Amino acid sequence: MTTHPDPVRDTPEAFPAGSAQPVRPSPAAVAPQGAAVPQANPAATTSPANPANPAPAAAAASPAAPGRHAAASATDWSDGVDTVPRAGDTPEELQPYAELGLRDDEYDRIRHILGRRPTQSELAMYSIMWSEHCSYKSSKVHLRQFGEKAPPSDRLLAGIGENAGVVRVSDELAVTFKVESHNHPSFVEPYQGAATGVGGIVRDILAMGARPVAVMDPLRFGAADHPDTARVLPGVVAGVGGYGNCLGLPNIGGEVVFDPCYQGNPLVNALCLGVLPVKRLQKKEATGPGNIVVLMGAKTGRDGIGGVSVLASATFDEGSEQRRPSVQVGDPFIEKLLIEACLELYDAELVVGIQDLGGAGLTCALTETAASAGTGMRVWLERVPLREPSMEPHEILASESQERMLLVVAPDKLDAVLKTCEKWGVLATAIGEVTAPEPDGQPGRLLITWRDQLVVDVPPGSLVDDGPVYARPMREPADLILLQADRAETLPRPSDPDTLRETVLRMIASPNLADKTWVTEQYDRYVLGNTVLAQPEDSGVIRIDERTGLGVALSVDGNGRYARLDPYHGAKLALAEAYRNVAVTGAEPIAVTDCLNFGSPEDPGVMWQFAEAVRGLADGCAELGIPVTGGNVSFYNQTGAAAIHPTPVVGVLGVLENVAERVASGFVPRPGGDHDQLFLLGETHVELSGSEWAWVTHQHLGGVPPQVNLAREKQLAGLLAAAARVGHLSSAHDLSDGGLAQSLVESCLRHGVGARIAVPDRFGGGSMPFVFLFSESSGRVLVSVPRGHEKAFTALCGEHGVPWELIGVTDPAGGALEVHGQFRIRLDELREAHASLLPSLFGGMPPFEVTPAEPAVPAAAATEPVAEGAGDAGDTAEAGTGTQADEAGTVTQIDVVIAPETGGEADPATTAAVGGADATATSAEPATPDAPAGPDHGQPAVQAADQPADGETDGTRPAAGEQPPTSDER
Amino acid sequence: MTARVGVVTFPGSLDDGDAARAVRIAGAEPVRLWHGDPQLHGVDAVVLPGGFSYGDYLRCGAIARFAPVMETIVDAAAGGLPVLGICNGFQILCEAHLLPGALTRNQHLHFRNRDQLLRIESTTTAWTNAFQPGQKVLIPVKNGEGCYVADTATLDELEAEGRVVARYVGGNPNGSQRDIAAITNPAGNVVGIMPHPEHAVEALTGPSLDGLGFFTSVLKHLVGAPA
């Protein structure tokens, strides 16, 4: 026990002089403690740094009238507070534990732990710490798998159980990232719910010692045209933007998904990414008896009281409109100052431990920091600066007021800490002291007084670690067998070109596939100047070291429909998609975070879904060799008996050694009309169950989701990273919802570059062209490869065991997406269909005249109609390669040539046609009008690049049979 | 001698690091200035960066104009110090009456971030002399309160004196009167611009390199300026 020479400043504003030495409540409390109350920053009101936050005024007001507090409560407590001695004297007093969400046995357990009934403050603390939201009591037994099945990783510096996982990405730098839910508050109060969701996750990242550098937001709403969606979505989007933009954090991606199952239960998940020097990693442990506990940031108000226990663990019913005051209110300006102040404190090494205040507020921060260190704590609660002076102890302890952090600092550093906070205009107040463990070696106790009265005396670990753990009953939902038997593959499919054309236009205009610019334009993606890729790219990519070009890629994905049909594989599919989205940028995926959104765990069907999803995700991570580093569970996403689809949202983080090598998703304009070759990687099966098409066209959900093959995903990722490094890829775009058609349209519209596609022979006839375009088979990526790289690229595919198929060419001058023999749709028609839905539903931002995304692109290439016939001959003529064929001629050539261009050991069912067609292609080539006069057989790839070589390199083309066999575990 | 360009950090400034980077890429030495410090530390020019100074409480820029550093900047601007206000900096310049008019809530009431085409209307200012008259540049715009308004007489005066520095083309992102994206004071040393040139200085992270011209302009201006 250190006897420090009164390191803290005595500030009468915060503590009446007469009570500067609080009554020591028990011998277990701290040793000599001359420390009175440091009230930081008394000058804050006059400093321009904080003009709108006249901080000390209310703080001073709060303790100013110590005796007046009594009447506030409805109870008959004569002195106004329920103290520990009083609790001991009145064992029979009835307490509203059930109303606070505690079960009989849980309440009995609290009494057993304390050896008496809890005080009102203690009851509030236990009820929030033992709520589902804080204790993970229903999920704990399942979440253990993430640790048990985790692959060994030498990158992991902090994992599950910390505020956020921390992963080393270079010798000096680490990144931390985590996704969290703020679903229930966002339904009640969309703007503040979403805004504080962002604020909360940002503080988690900050608490690890990192500078937050980007956010992402996976969002799910009810039907796009439902009236309540028009209330919730604009508010949520404005809230995410309002908070993130004001913090100066680029928003680099996310999801916007509509499904009626989220009606009344929107999912607002928020992810934050932070960067830190490895040596700046912070701890939350409140070590060092005698160290000072400092509350930093905004004042504490009544907002969010009961937010956790009442909101987060209650199913919505009729009364939810009345809960508005339970939703926290955010102030991003304070958080921005908090970030800067904390980073300065870290760099000056002034902090022993730090924890953000989020769900369960001060209660959680005090108990977690003490419990993790095994120490105790002595807190003077009246020192907490209050926004509302009439607040009672249990309210202060439960308040979820935003923008607060709890620091543990050595006494001799306190002045420096307060000075830094003052510089940034951030309120900081010493509210307590770390105390030693019990003499018998037991962890210390948390003692909290309120105006000299002991209101809390608990073992902190009992709130944090000793909460109830339930192995809740689980049962496969009774309807699942029937649901899985009702396959979408049996639905009527388009089988003629006109219907297929109409289907493409209808699908890209449907809510989940439509352009999300209306949403993403409300987010700042440029701030900090390190955003290399952002939405609508498959991943966000952030440069984290300007010197070396080191960067990270991040994607978040989930598919509730797949998980509804099969939660185990649905979770794996979400993981596979996020993994693939990171891989297409050329990054190496290294770590996972997850946000598990489910209905009520008290429903055995939901619990089964949860268990299956966790098992799937843990198995998937083990197969991919990347660990789950942290995440969040959100239960009770249901209204009445109707739960949402089980919705595991998975975030994957990857590393790019040099962000300059990143690959983007859009087809690249080539001055002079040159073409890139389009390859489809992976295998396409007849997989339509759970697909976007089945839902949009038939409102159908049934069958089993697409197969997932993580070994194949890993090979694909290896190929993409290798190909990106050597410049084989002009673009790469993941295939997922909406299949190939959606990816083609997105890649075309990104920079206004058209494409000509030939349907492979085996997808010819009947509805097979439709299957080719709309199947949602996993493990597929659409890449464009610059001329001259195709041989080397396909050879690389062979090395990595990835099946490939040449399906067409980009067509910068064509201004259209053409699928030979099926349809041709001009880009402006595609764009109109793709871009108009959200503005028409949510208004306010009329679509704007399109400006070219790339200044290098001649505007004509982006928007003008293609000139038919000889009109567009100029492009190729310029390159000196002879005459350009008319549209049909060119496409015919592609068709013939492409059909056999397949690599890898494809599924026998779908590769029947591949075998002997090679010769046809070869012989067809010289007839190709826009092929070079002499095909560049055998020429090195680098030379071939100089010549437009639409014509094929048949001599060196690996035939299907020559590809190294690859395993397909299906 | 390398020019020294100050970049002010107010509480809530967000693009200060980006502005400093742009200054560096343009070939000058960025000098970070603190809102509470009235000293300009001998800088040759000043950038007021984007962000939400003081949380944009009261009105955007309304509190920042009273910061100690601003008092010095207002005086120095009168003496010809080149000052570029970007976004929130533009709002501060208007609140400080270094520029006429005001920036109000976007007409569509949403924050909007997009790559925006501008036409450079005046190349005689300290911050745009590296451009060609009528040159089109692509620069990110991102604001919630970027709708430029002024009374008709003021607008006419700006037009007549060639003080409209840049206009939005290909769509007005916020409803600004006469598509105004940037204006200057009569002397041409103080420019306020709503879009963000500092976000268009690197091929990897911006939509173009067009923003660099604003920062190289001031270097040209400083070299040519009488000592």
pLDDT in tens, A822-876: 999 999 999 999 999 999 999 855 444 444 444 333 333 333 333 333 333 333 3
**Do B142 and A849 make contact, defined as CB atoms within 8 angstroms?**
no
Determine contact: A842 vs chain B, CB below 8 A.
no
> Can you say whether the dihedral through the CA atoms of A116, A122, A127, A131 is positive or negative?
negative
Angstroms from A248 CA to nearest CA on chain B: 5
A48, A238, A855: residue with CB nearest B138: A855
Q: Which residue has the tokens 């107010």?
A: B10
CATH topology (fold) of A497-504+663-962: Phosphoribosyl-aminoimidazole Synthetase; Chain A, domain 2 (3.90.650)
Mean pLDDT, rounded, for B7-12 = 97
**Do B170 and A848 make contact, defined as CB atoms within 8 angstroms?**
yes
Residue of chain B whose Cα is closest to the Cα of A519: B112
Q: Is residue A652 predicted with pLDDT exceeding 90?
A: yes
**Do A851 and B21 make contact, defined as CB atoms within 8 angstroms?**
no
For residue A776, report the phi and psi dihedrals to the nearest 5 degrees.
-110, 35
A-B contacts (CB, under 8 Å): 129
**Do B113 and A242 make contact, defined as CB atoms within 8 angstroms?**
no
Q: Name chain B contacts of A525, Cβ cutoff 8 Å.
A: 113
For chain B, the first-to-last Cα distance in angstroms comes to 13
**Residue A388 DSSP code:** S
B52, B204, B207: residue with CB nearest A246: B52
What mean pLDDT, rounded, does chain A reach? 82
A334, A525, A844: residue with CB nearest B110: A844
| CATH number for position B173 | 3.40.50.880
Is B60 in contact with B89 (CB distance < 8 Å)?
no
Residues in chain B: 227
Q: Closest by alpha carbon to A494, among A808, A831, A822, A743?
A: A822
Confidence of residue A388 (pLDDT cuts 50, 70, 90): confident
Confidence of residue A163 (pLDDT cuts 50, 70, 90): confident
Determine contact: A528 vs chain B, CB below 8 A.
yes
B60 is catalytic: no
Mean pLDDT, rounded, for A497-522 = 97
Rounded-to-integer distance, Cα B137 and Cα B212, Å = 11
Rounded-to-integer distance, Cα A682 and Cα A775, Å = 12
Residue of chain B whose Cα is closest to the Cα of A664: B204
Q: Is residue A46 predicted with pLDDT exceeding 90?
A: no
For residue A650, report the phi and psi dihedrals to the nearest 5 degrees.
-120, 130
Strands of A668-745 (E only): list them.
676-681, 731-734
HSE value, Cβ hemisphere, 13 Å, CA-based, for B124: 9
Q: Which helix H or strand E contains A156, and what residues bound it?
A: strand A156-158
Q: Name chain B contacts of A853, Cβ cutoff 8 Å.
A: 115, 207
Confidence of residue A907 (pLDDT cuts 50, 70, 90): very low
Determine contact: A659 vs chain B, CB below 8 A.
yes
Angstroms from B112 CA to nearest CA on chain A: 5
Catalytic residues of A: 133, 182
Give the CATH number of domain A163-283+509-661. Answer: 3.30.1330.10
Angstroms from B184 CA to nearest CA on chain A: 25
Determine contact: A290 vs chain B, CB below 8 A.
no
Is A8 in contact with A38 (CB distance < 8 Å)?
yes
Spatial neighbors of A293 by CB under 8 A, at least 6 apart, are A286, A366, A369, A377, A379, A406, A407, A408, A430, A431, A432, A433, A434
A163-283+509-661 shares the fold of A1-24+32-65+284-444: no
Domain containing B145: what range? 4-224
Amino acid in the structure at residue A681 = L
Determine contact: A336 vs chain B, CB below 8 A.
yes
Q: Name chain B contacts of A520, Cβ cutoff 8 Å.
A: 113
Q: Report the pLDDT value the prediction gives residue B224, as an integer from 0 to 100.
A: 83
Q: Report the pLDDT value the prediction gives residue A867, as an integer from 0 to 100.
A: 34
The token duo for A194 is: 């979403």
Spot the catalytic one: B95, B121, B145, B198.
B198
Least confident of A216-220, A480-484, A840-844, B129-133: A840-844
Confidence of residue A14 (pLDDT cuts 50, 70, 90): very low
Q: Give me the residue spans of the domains in chain A.
A: 1-24+32-65+284-444, 163-283+509-661, 497-504+663-962
HSE value, Cβ hemisphere, 13 Å, CA-based, for A36: 14
**Do A851 and B17 make contact, defined as CB atoms within 8 angstroms?**
no
Q: Name chain A contacts of B52, Cβ cutoff 8 Å.
A: 245-246, 332-333, 336
Task: Give the ipTM.
Answer: 0.96
Q: Is residue B1 predicted with pLDDT exceeding 90?
A: no
pLDDT in tens, B69-95: 999 999 999 999 999 999 999 999 999
Q: Name chain B contacts of A848, Cβ cutoff 8 Å.
A: 114, 170-171, 173
Q: Is residue B16 predicted with pLDDT exceeding 70?
A: yes
Those of residues 421-480 in A touching chain B at CB distance below 8 A are 424-425
pLDDT in tens, B147-161: 999 999 999 999 999
pLDDT in tens, A727-779: 999 999 999 999 999 999 999 999 999 999 999 999 999 999 999 999 999 99
Strand order in the sheet with A267-277: A156-158, A165-168, A173-181, A267-277, A211-221, A251-258
Q: Report the pLDDT value the prediction gives residue A640, as an integer from 0 to 100.
A: 85
Rounded-to-integer distance, Cα A680 and Cα A794, Å = 11
Q: Is residue A153 predicted with pLDDT exceeding 80?
A: yes
Is A581 in contact with A734 (CB distance < 8 Å)?
yes
Q: Is A790 exposed, middle or buried (0-12, 13-18, 19+ CB in 10 A)?
A: buried
Q: Report the pLDDT value the prediction gives residue A257, as an integer from 0 to 100.
A: 98
For chain A, the first-to-last Cα distance in angstroms comes to 64
Rounded-to-integer distance, Cα A204 and Cα A404, Å = 11
**Reduced to 3 states, what is the DSSP secondary structure of residue A297?**
strand
Q: Report the pLDDT value the prediction gives residue A326, as an integer from 0 to 100.
A: 65
Angstroms from B205 CA to nearest CA on chain A: 5
Number of compact structural domains in chain B: 1
Mean pLDDT, rounded, for A169-193 = 94
Mean pLDDT, rounded, for A351-364 = 94
Determine contact: A841 vs chain B, CB below 8 A.
no
B18, B68, B112: residue with CB nearest A521: B112
Residue of chain B whose Cα is closest to the Cα of A50: B54
Angstroms from A423 CA to nearest CA on chain B: 9
pLDDT in tens, A409-466: 999 999 999 999 999 999 999 999 999 999 998 999 999 999 999 999 999 999 999 9
Across chain A, which distance is largest between two alpha carbons, in Å?
101
**Do A527 and B110 make contact, defined as CB atoms within 8 angstroms?**
no
Angstroms from B165 CA to nearest CA on chain A: 21
**Do A524 and B111 make contact, defined as CB atoms within 8 angstroms?**
yes
pLDDT more than 90, % of chain A: 70
A242, A524, A851: residue with CB nearest B113: A524
Least confident of A328-337, A500-509, A560-569, A783-792: A328-337
**Do A425 and B11 make contact, defined as CB atoms within 8 angstroms?**
yes
Q: Report the pLDDT value the prediction gives residue B159, as an integer from 0 to 100.
A: 97
pLDDT more than 70, % of chain A: 77
Q: Name chain A contacts of B207, Cβ cutoff 8 Å.
A: 853-855
pLDDT in tens, A48-89: 333 333 333 333 333 333 333 333 334 445 457 899 999 999
H helices, E strands: number in chain B: 5, 11
B198 is catalytic: yes
Give the CATH number of domain A1-24+32-65+284-444. Answer: 3.90.650.10
Angstroms from B207 CA to nearest CA on chain A: 7
Rounded-to-integer distance, Cα A101 and Cα A507, Å = 45
